[in-house]
């Protein structure tokens, strides 16, 4: 497939390249960097919350800045770019085209991300990654808020450019012999998520502009002091960002569709149901945004509509899980590191979905709203499912990208530590929420159960830190000194790949 | 694909359409209270189904991981290992 690192090339040649695998490599390296920066912030937050009173962070404003930047980094600078990395590497090869449809636009979409990251990281806004008004309009200090708004604006444009490229590449550039129904499910996942981005992102782009002009005093869309409506912002925000959850999870499921058949040594059980479920998820993504807003005074009927809309995602999600289970059935499963991450991700996806059913039930939502339950649910989904799929796929891509094998033993240790750490951290956060601890607080009263659970959560986070440290060391060491990989079959699985590495697209 | 479509139509007719009426605004107090009870009832039934299905699926997954692992003495090569296209 690709061997960027084996055959040495000057860095500038990769940086200024528009070839899809070079752009994919840059996305990959950037997203891994962002994951560690965002992870370091998470560890700082957990050290602070290990016990009541100030531990590491001096004041609540710094704490607020840290969790805002952590959330923004993980979602926009780790998960989205890592999905783009995988898409850039594999989509053109899967649709048998020489590159992405618009290579220069592709490189531009990537190069918009680092400046946006600098804005977010240097600004360190303090209003949470929702930026909810009226606080974000009236009180949030400048210039951090403006830097965040500009940063997100740039990232939004980058996402739209990337999505246009994926849609055109898959629909218009695929090989004439390849019918759309036979396009691999990973490519289908990028088609679905890109269409969601194109439909959802402009709404948030408008909301950001309105937020900016509100902050400048030119308008009062969301400022109640001048007759604006803060709830309107929440509608615009969640109309984009509930579908955005699917934008993140659909490629992760697509990655699992690559890993699970390969390591089970069986073809996908049902290509048709996978496509159907992707299309269904793309549609119901837009039917559930206001389930984040039950507590804003919606009518009973509105809440019922959004509750049913949210539950409509369950059958489509279940179809994917059944497809995975049916694929594994009667296989001879090799539990190499990528497969462990994929199966672990499916298990946590199921647990996160069960928690989501509780959240979507409006009476129960009032018990869990703005509590640590939500933090646990969100992280179980975003980390336990999406990051698990992504990390598994990074291991899967590793030999193709570097020409070397990672250390399998340390890969397994990494998985076990992070899986155990994630279960301790995120399941305990659910329970802590039911015990009444609100989210986004810098300090908490000395309640025994809260102290014990917070300490346990922080220990879980430290276990994950050790696991991720091993991951980083494994990546760096193995890319330089790992055993040369047998690129015909790096994992020793047998069978034929439909995109052998010899078919790599020539550089241009 | 056609089979999936037919299955979806049957599922929609059996399970989704009867609940659509709940989504329309209740106009009287009695209707509102009935609706509330109906929705809670529906929710508990769904949760019962969800937990049963969840238990079965989680159990199946754990069993599959044990039974179909490469190192299980009963594991047999699949037809796709040497010549099949994956």
What pLDDT, on a 0 to 100 scale, did the predictor assign at position A195? 97
Chain B residues lying within 8 Å of A321, measured CB to CB: 57
- In a 13 Å sphere around the CA of A220, the CA atoms on its Cβ side amount to 6
What pLDDT, on a 0 to 100 scale, did the predictor assign at position B81? 82
Chain A residues lying within 8 Å of B77, measured CB to CB: 265, 332, 494
What pLDDT, on a 0 to 100 scale, did the predictor assign at position B42? 72
Q: What is the CATH number of the domain that holds A471?
A: 1.20.210.10
What pLDDT, on a 0 to 100 scale, did the predictor assign at position A450? 97
Lowest mean pLDDT: which of A100-104, A410-414, A489-493, A497-501? A497-501
- Contacts of A13 by beta carbon, 8 Å cutoff, 6+ apart: none
Phi, psi of A169 (to 5 degrees): -60, -45
Contact assessment for residue A319 and residue B53, using Cβ atoms and an 8 Å cutoff? no
| Mean of per-residue pLDDT scores for chain A | 92
Residue A2: is its pLDDT beyond 60? no
What pLDDT, on a 0 to 100 scale, did the predictor assign at position A449? 96
Tokens 């194109």, residue located: A198
How many whole angstroms separate alpha carbon A453 and alpha carbon A141?
A: 33
How many whole angstroms separate alpha carbon B67 and alpha carbon A507?
A: 45
At residue A500 the predicted structure's pLDDT band, cuts being 50, 70 and 90, is very low
Q: Does A499 touch chain B (CB under 8 A)?
A: no
What pLDDT, on a 0 to 100 scale, did the predictor assign at position B24? 64
H/E segment holding residue A144: helix A144-172
Tokens 């990051």, residue located: A387
Asked whether residue A479 is assigned to any structural domain, the reply reads: yes
| Mean of per-residue pLDDT scores for chain B | 79
Tokens 């050290």, residue located: A47
Q: Which of A270-284, A494-508, B52-66 is predicted most confidently?
A: A270-284
Tokens at B62, concatenated: 């754990």
Contact assessment for residue A113 and residue A75, using Cβ atoms and an 8 Å cutoff? no
- State CA A417 to chain mean position distance: 20
Tokens at A30, concatenated: 């950037």
ipTM of this predicted complex?
Answer: 0.80
How many whole angstroms separate alpha carbon A248 and alpha carbon A253?
A: 9
Asked whether residue A81 is assigned to any structural domain, the reply reads: yes
A216-240 exposure pattern, b = at least 16 Cβ within 10 A, e = fewer:
eeebbbbbeeeebebbebbbbbbbb
Q: Does A139 touch chain B (CB under 8 A)?
A: no
DSSP B63-81: HHHHHSBTTSTT----TTS
Chain B residues lying within 8 Å of A335, measured CB to CB: 65, 69-70
For range A76-86, the mean pLDDT: 96
CB nearest to B78's CB, from A265, A300, A314: A265
* pLDDT, tens digit, 9 for 90 and up, residues A100-146: 999 999 999 999 999 999 999 999 999 999 999 999 999 899 999 99
Q: What angle do CA A450, A454, A456 make, to 5 degrees?
A: 120
A vs B: CB pairs below 8 A: 110
What pLDDT, on a 0 to 100 scale, did the predictor assign at position B19? 67
Number of domains chain A is built from: 1
Cβ–Cβ contacts within 10 Å for residue A201, how many? 21
* pLDDT, tens digit, 9 for 90 and up, residues A285-297: 999 899 999 888 8
At residue A148 the predicted structure's pLDDT band, cuts being 50, 70 and 90, is very high
Asked whether residue A2 is assigned to any structural domain, the reply reads: no
For A252, the domain range is 11-503
* pLDDT, tens digit, 9 for 90 and up, residues A153-189: 999 999 999 999 999 999 999 999 989 999 999 999 9
- Which of A 158-217 lie inside 8 A of B, CB atoms? 181
Residue A9: is its pLDDT beyond 60? yes
A363/B26 Cβ within 8 A: no
Chain A residues lying within 8 Å of B11, measured CB to CB: 315
- Which of A 284-323 lie inside 8 A of B, CB atoms? 299-301, 304-305, 307-308, 311, 314-315, 318, 321-322
Contact assessment for residue A367 and residue A434, using Cβ atoms and an 8 Å cutoff? yes
Strand-pair partners of A404:
A484
* pLDDT, tens digit, 9 for 90 and up, residues B22-43: 666 666 777 777 777 776 777 7
What pLDDT, on a 0 to 100 scale, did the predictor assign at position A503? 54
DSSP A417-486: HHHHHHIIIIIHHHHHHHTTPBSS-S-----HHHHHHHHHHHHHHHHHHHHHHHHHHHHHHHHHHSPBP-
For range A311-317, the mean pLDDT: 89
List the domain boundaries for chain B. Answer: 26-72
pTM given for the model: 0.90
> Three-state DSSP class for A189?
helix
Residue A6: is its pLDDT beyond 60? no
- State CA A39 to chain mean position distance: 13
Cα-based distances in Å from A376 to A115, A352, A448: 31, 9, 20
Contact assessment for residue A39 and residue A383, using Cβ atoms and an 8 Å cutoff? no
């Amino acid at each position: 497939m690709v061997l960027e690192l084996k055959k040495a090339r000057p860095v500038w040649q990769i940086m200024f390249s528009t070839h899809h695998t070079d752009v994919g490599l840059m996305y990959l390296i950037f997203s891994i960097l962002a994951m560690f920066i965002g992870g370091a912030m998470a560890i700082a937050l957990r050290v602070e919350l290990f016990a009541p009173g100030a531990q590491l962070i001096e004041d609540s404003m710094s704490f607020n800045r840290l969790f805002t930047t952590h959330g923004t980094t993980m979602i926009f600078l780790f998960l989205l770019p890592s999905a783009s990395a995988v898409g850039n590497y594999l989509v053109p090869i899967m649709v048998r085209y020489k590159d992405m449809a618009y290579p220069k636009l592709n490189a531009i979409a990537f190069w918009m991300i680092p400046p946006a990251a600098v804005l977010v990281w240097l600004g360190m806004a303090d209003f949470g990654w929702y930026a909810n008004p009226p606080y974000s309009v009236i009180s949030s200090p400048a210039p951090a808020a403006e830097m965040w708004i500009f940063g997100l604006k740039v990232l939004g444009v980058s996402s739209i450019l990337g999505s246009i490229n994926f849609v055109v590449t898959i629909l218009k550039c695929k090989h004439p012999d390849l019918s759309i129904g036979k396009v691999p499910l990973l490519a289908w996942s990028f088609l679905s998520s890109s269409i969601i981005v194109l439909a959802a992102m402009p709404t948030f782009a408008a909301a950001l502009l309105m937020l900016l002009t509100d902050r400048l005093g030119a308008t009062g869309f969301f400022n109640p002091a001048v007759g604006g409506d803060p709830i309107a912002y929440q509608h615009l925000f969640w109309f984009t960002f509930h579908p955005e959850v699917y934008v993140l999870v659909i490629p992760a499921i697509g990655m699992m569709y690559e890993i699970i058949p390969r390591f089970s040594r069986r073809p996908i059980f049902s290509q048709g149901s996978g496509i159907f479920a992707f299309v269904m998820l793309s549609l119901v993504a837009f039917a559930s945004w206001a389930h984040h807003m039950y507590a804003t005074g919606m009518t009973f009927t509105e809440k019922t509509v959004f509750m049913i809309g949210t539950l409509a995602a369950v059958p489509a999600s279940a179809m994917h899980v059944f497809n995975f289970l049916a694929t594994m059935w009667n296989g001879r499963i090799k539990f190499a590191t990528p497969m462990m991450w994929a199966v672990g991700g499916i298990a946590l996806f199921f647990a996160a979905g069960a928690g989501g059913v509780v959240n979507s039930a409006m009476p129960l939502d009032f018990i869990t709203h703005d509590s640590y339950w939500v933090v646990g649910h969100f992280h179980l989904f975003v980390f336990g499912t999406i990051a698990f799929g992504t990390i598994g796929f990074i291991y899967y891509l590793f030999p193709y990208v570097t020409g070397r094998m990672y250390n399998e033993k340390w890969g397994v240790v990494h998985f076990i530590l992070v899986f155990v750490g994630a279960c301790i951290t995120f399941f305990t956060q659910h329970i802590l929420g039911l015990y009444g601890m609100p989210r986004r607080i810098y300090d908490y009263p000395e309640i025994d159960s809260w102290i014990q659970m917070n300490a346990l959560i922080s220990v879980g986070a430290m276990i994950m830190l050790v696991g991720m440290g091993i991951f980083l060391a494994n990546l760096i060491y193995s890319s330089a000194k790992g055993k040369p990989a047998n690129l015909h079959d790096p994992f020793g699985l047998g069978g034929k790949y439909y995109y052998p590495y010899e078919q790599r697209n020539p550089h241009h | 694909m056609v089979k999936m479509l037919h299955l979806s139509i049957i599922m929609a007719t059996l399970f989704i359409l009867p609940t659509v009426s709940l989504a329309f605004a209740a106009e009287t107090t009695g209707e509102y209270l009935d609706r509330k009870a109906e929705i809670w009832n529906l929710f508990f039934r769904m949760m019962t189904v969800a937990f049963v299905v969840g238990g079965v699926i989680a159990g199946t997954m754990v069993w599959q991981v044990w039974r179909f692992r490469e190192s299980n003495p009963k594991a047999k090569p699949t037809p796709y290992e040497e010549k099949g296209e994956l």
